[in-house]
Amino acid sequence: MTTSNRLSQHDGRNTIRLRWIVLPGLSLLLGMVVGCAKPPQVGAANLDLIEALATATSTQKPELIERCSKMVEERSAQGKLGREQADEFAAIFALARAGDWDKARDRAYAFRDAQQPEVTGEVERKLPELKKPGTAGR
């Protein structure tokens, strides 16, 4: 076997290795990074802000964006809205202010859709007592 034949066989194995090992690994890593970047939770008390934002972006009304922005600033100053949540709102406001209404709307909808209901305390469920057969009239 000549040197050029060995090199071409070796190159073929590297191509297969790259194709079947490295590329899926990179795809998985990228999917984990992108997939884990979910919008933050805002809590039940701030869901109205997300609805206002979704309305402002879908109607493409700058005055609604500004009104929503002021509400976010107020709640942030009062400590009712965390930094991560305020940053998410700010990013969407920036898209809308730049005139990229479609991206702003899509991101606002994703923000709204990512919210999970809050469960406060444990819910205790009691099952009704079952009557034994044949004891209905007693």
Q: Average of pLDDT values for 104-119?
A: 89
Which pair of tokens denotes residue 9?
């066989």
24 and 62, same domain (yes or no): no
The torsion angles phi and psi of 129, rounded to 5 degrees, stand at: -75, 140
Q: How confident is the model at residue 24 (pLDDT cuts 50, 70, 90)?
A: low
51 and 106, same domain (yes or no): yes
**In what helix (H) or strand (E) does residue 106 lie, and over which residues does it extend?**
helix 101-113
The Cα 1–Cα 75 span in angstroms is 75
Does some domain include residue 134? no
Q: Does residue 41 contact residue 116 with C-beta atoms inside 8 Å? A: yes
Give Cβ neighbours of residue 112 (< 8 Å, ≥ 6 apart). 50, 51, 53, 54
Does some domain include residue 75? yes
Q: What is the structure's pLDDT at 25?
A: 53
Does some domain include residue 126? no
Does some domain include residue 72? yes
52 and 24, same domain (yes or no): no
Does some domain include residue 106? yes
Does some domain include residue 127? no
DSSP state for residue 132 in the 8-state scheme? P
Q: Average of pLDDT values for 46-72?
A: 96
Whether 134 has a pLDDT exceeding 50, the answer reads yes
Q: What is the structure's pLDDT at 54?
A: 96
Does some domain include residue 83? yes
Q: What is the structure's pLDDT at 129?
A: 76
| Residue 62 domain boundaries | 44-113
The predicted model scores a pTM of: 0.60
Q: What is the structure's pLDDT at 32?
A: 44
21 and 54, same domain (yes or no): no
> With 0-12 CB in 10 A as exposed, 13-18 as middle and 19+ as buried, what is 73?
middle
Segment among 9-23, 37-51, 93-107 with least mean pLDDT = 9-23
27 and 74, same domain (yes or no): no
- Number of folded domains that form the chain: 2
Does some domain include residue 123? no
56 and 108, same domain (yes or no): yes
Closest-CA residue to 104 (of 113, 118, 94): 94
